[in-house]
Structure 1
Amino acid sequence: MYHMTVYDEDGKVLFNDALSATSDEEAKKAGYAWLAEHGHENKPHRIFHTTGRLVSFKPHQFDLKTGKATKS
């Protein structure tokens, strides 16, 4: 079982639900398709197996001078 969480630049959860997949590659493919379909390709996200194994991770981008998240 796989799960995906997508955040906006302020850390608000935009999506947090299970992904139907039987392998890491299938989970990535399903997750990336969902991101593209909803226009969230550049949003911070994580895709993980429910055992805790991280499959894909895109962190927030920060401006080192201000210490704040940058907008994608």
Structure 2
Amino acid sequence: MAKSIYDEEYRRLINAIRSTRKEAGLTQQMLADRLGRPQSFVAKVEGYERRLDIVEFLHVCRALGVEPASIFAAVDRAG
């Protein structure tokens, strides 16, 4: 089994997060500011260079103002 960062479902998860961020009109820097993290954190997650753990995922969802279930649903629909 491949590492989850290379898994197609993981990529769909990150794509859903990226799409949600863009739909909210947020830049990577704006999201990073909300998270209290550097912009490179968001860039590395969105570029599949850094794995997002479940707690970080929850923080990202809160920063985006979305329910985690909506992101999971987007991933499931895309599959």
Range of TM-score over shorter length: 0.3 to 0.5
Structure with the higher fraction of residues in strand conformation: 1
Structure with more contact order per residue of length (Cα contacts < 8 Å, sep ≥ 6): 2
Give the TM-score, by structure 2 length.
Answer: 0.31
Structure with the higher fraction of residues in helix conformation: 2
Give the TM-score, by structure 1 length.
Answer: 0.33
- Larger radius of gyration, structure 1 or 2? 1
